[in-house]
Amino acid sequence: MKIVKGIGETFCQHYTQSTDEQPGSHMDFAVNRLKLAEILYYKILETVMVQETRRLHGMDMSVLLEQDIFHRSLMACCLEIVLFAYSSPRTFPWIIDVLNLQPFYFYKVIEVVIRSEEGLSRDMVKHLNSIEEQILESLTWSHNSALWEALQASSNKVPTCEEVIIPKTTLKWEMEETYKDIFPMMPMSPINASKSEGKFGTDCGSLPKG
């Protein structure tokens, strides 16, 4: 694909270029990392297409395949995986900086990659999750972030604080129900059982005698 070739050329150019922070690497290393990332890219892309085709019952996937930003984001994520696997000093967000990719778009493919590639190690998944947190906490809120364009495109239909906060009473009930569903055979705590039966009285009262 033309877009993958262009990303590869940009990657190799910056990977071999010396900076004030680190020396450039040999072109052979850059090409090797790129080939590994390309293999992973096509593997994940095929898996995504198969999964989405099944989920959408054979619907035409050409719309997704024609989105350059999807391919750029996926390829960037694959390169980040390879760089991390080789303990490269070029840590995130180096890859999105050299590819001129918005953090917002990189974030959107992380879960897709984790869900599609079962061979990722636990450390790799933790690394990608840490990138998610980094993007959510700071990078995606920059003044030139693509997030603002996405919000405008949605007519600013963003849920309010009240709409996303779960009331305490509802949350407590849901936690209790979840606990019972997960551990149906586990007995209730003796303290909680006694409280429910009124044996311990209230916080202001004293314990019953006898």
Among 111, 134, 158, the domain boundary falls at: 158
Instruction: Read off the pLDDT of each residue in 174-178 and give the average, rounded to a whole number.
Output: 48
> Within this chain, do residues 28 and 76 fall inside the same structural domain, yes or no?
yes
> Within this chain, do residues 30 and 99 fall inside the same structural domain, yes or no?
yes
User: What's this model's pTM, rounded to 2 decimal places?
Assistant: 0.70
Answer yes or no: is 123 within a domain: yes
> Within this chain, do residues 13 and 87 fall inside the same structural domain, yes or no?
yes
Q: Does the structure show a pLDDT above 60 at 15?
A: yes
Residue 179, domain extent: 163-196
Q: Does the structure show a pLDDT above 50 at 2?
A: yes
Answer yes or no: is 6 within a domain: yes
DSSP 94-118: HHHHHTT--HHHHHHHHHHHHHH-T
pLDDT band at residue 51, thresholds of 50, 70 and 90? Answer: confident
> Within this chain, do residues 192 and 130 fall inside the same structural domain, yes or no?
no
Answer yes or no: is 209 within a domain: no
- Which of 8-12, 22-26, 54-58, 200-204 comes out lowest in average pLDDT? 200-204
Instruction: Read off the pLDDT of each residue in 133-150 and give the average, rounded to a whole number.
Output: 79
The Cα–Cα gap between 95 and 15 comes to: 10
pLDDT reported for residue 155? 64
> Within this chain, do residues 142 and 56 fall inside the same structural domain, yes or no?
yes
Number of domains in the chain: 2
pLDDT reported for residue 160? 65
Please identify which residue in the block is written with the tokens 């099944």: 54
> Within this chain, do residues 153 and 63 fall inside the same structural domain, yes or no?
yes
Instruction: Read off the pLDDT of each residue in 169-176 and give the average, rounded to a whole number.
Output: 49
> Within this chain, do residues 75 and 177 fall inside the same structural domain, yes or no?
no
The Cα–Cα gap between 75 and 20 comes to: 26
